């Protein structure tokens, strides 16, 4: 019984740790390098008598108690929100804003995680014809594909079930000229490729026509031989003539 109790407690503890780690990985705000962003503490009753503090990853970046002792006054709005200018990758992390009354009791807090991402680059769409699987394979090339969301458009219609970096379409669905584009997106930007109209050599059609021509030629030869045999049966041809005719036909084939 004690063993199962210990295992149950360990499972709960592990689940709690995983929940905390997942929370730490969650981004509340997104920005790109060079962008400006306001972190919304938004305490409308803020006065100069309040204590205002902002912390970034456990480092105090703004502190005001009557006068500003850390940070710059222009980095704060009238309601206590923090203005981040020319954001860098080093700007990402956890921010905490705190307003206290003059008696040091809490008036309002705000906590949020900022993630900084590059804008996605324009993807390059390529394709190859796979005659072994009778399909055309499309590939949406983009730098740093990790964490990006892919989507595909066929003739201006989004293929909702296709969310991978590659797409495979059978030759049957390419009978008419069709255009494809791929899109890539992250939390702050989106980019589309140029249109591509896949064209694959009609090798299958060529093979089918060739086979039909061969079969047609062979069928004609068989009919001719049957005609010669019928003439022999009707005694219109002698046996030596029949043998010579069959040999001649075989030499032609």
pLDDT score for 250 = 57
Domain end marker among 116, 133, 157: 116
The answer to the question of residue 2 being in a domain is no
pLDDT score for 220 = 54
- Domain co-membership, 232 together with 177: no
pLDDT score for 121 = 95
Residue 45 has phi, psi (to 5 degrees) of: -95, 20
The answer to the question of residue 85 being in a domain is yes
- Domain co-membership, 57 together with 95: yes
- Domain co-membership, 129 together with 181: yes
pLDDT score for 173 = 84
pLDDT by residue, tens only, the chain of 253 residues: 444 444 434 333 333 333 333 345 699 999 999 999 999 999 999 999 999 999 999 999 999 999 999 999 999 999 999 999 999 999 999 999 999 999 999 999 999 999 999 999 999 999 999 999 999 999 999 998 999 999 999 998 999 999 999 999 999 888 778 899 999 999 999 999 999 999 987 644 444 444 344 445 555 556 555 554 544 454 555 656 655 656 555 555 5
The answer to the question of residue 12 being in a domain is no
pLDDT score for 243 = 56
- Domain co-membership, 135 together with 156: yes
The answer to the question of residue 78 being in a domain is yes
Domain end marker among 116, 148, 168: 116
The answer to the question of residue 17 being in a domain is no
pLDDT score for 245 = 59
pLDDT score for 251 = 58
pLDDT score for 211 = 38
Kindly report the CATH number assigned to the domain that includes residue 148: 2.60.40.10
- Domain co-membership, 79 together with 131: no
- Domain co-membership, 145 together with 90: no
- The domain in which residue 238 lies consists of 203-252
pLDDT score for 219 = 52
- Domain co-membership, 108 together with 46: yes
Structural domain total, the chain? 3
Domain end marker among 192, 218, 233: 192
């Amino acid at each position: 019984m004690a063993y199962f109790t210990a295992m149950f407690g360990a499972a709960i503890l592990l689940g709690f740790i995983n929940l905390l780690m997942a929370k730490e990985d969650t981004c509340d705000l997104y920005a790109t390098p060079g962008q400006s962003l306001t972190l919304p503490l938004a305490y409308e009753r803020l006065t100069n008598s309040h204590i205002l503090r902002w912390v970034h990853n456990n480092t105090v970046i703004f502190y005001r108690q009557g006068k500003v002792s850390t940070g710059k006054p222009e980095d704060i709005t009238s309601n206590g929100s923090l203005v981040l200018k020319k954001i860098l990758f080093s700007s990402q992390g956890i921010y905490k804003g705190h307003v206290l009354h003059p008696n040091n009791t809490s008036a309002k807090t705000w906590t949020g995680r900022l993630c900084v991402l590059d804008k996605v680059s324009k993807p390059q769409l390529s394709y190859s014809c796979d005659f072994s699987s009778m399909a055309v394979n499309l590939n949406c090339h983009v730098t740093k594909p990790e964490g990006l969301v892919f989507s595909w458009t066929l003739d201006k219609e989004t293929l909702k079930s296709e969310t991978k970096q590659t797409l495979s379409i059978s030759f049957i669905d390419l009978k008419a000229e069709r255009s494809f584009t791929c899109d890539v997106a992250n939390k702050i930007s989106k980019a589309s490729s140029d249109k591509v109209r896949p064209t694959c050599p009609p090798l299958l059609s060529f093979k089918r026509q060739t086979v039909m021509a061969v079969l047609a030629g062979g069928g004609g030869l068989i009919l001719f031989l049957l005609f010669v045999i019928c003439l022999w049966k009707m005694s219109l041809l002698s046996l030596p003539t029949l043998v010579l005719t069959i040999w001649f036909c075989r030499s032609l084939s």
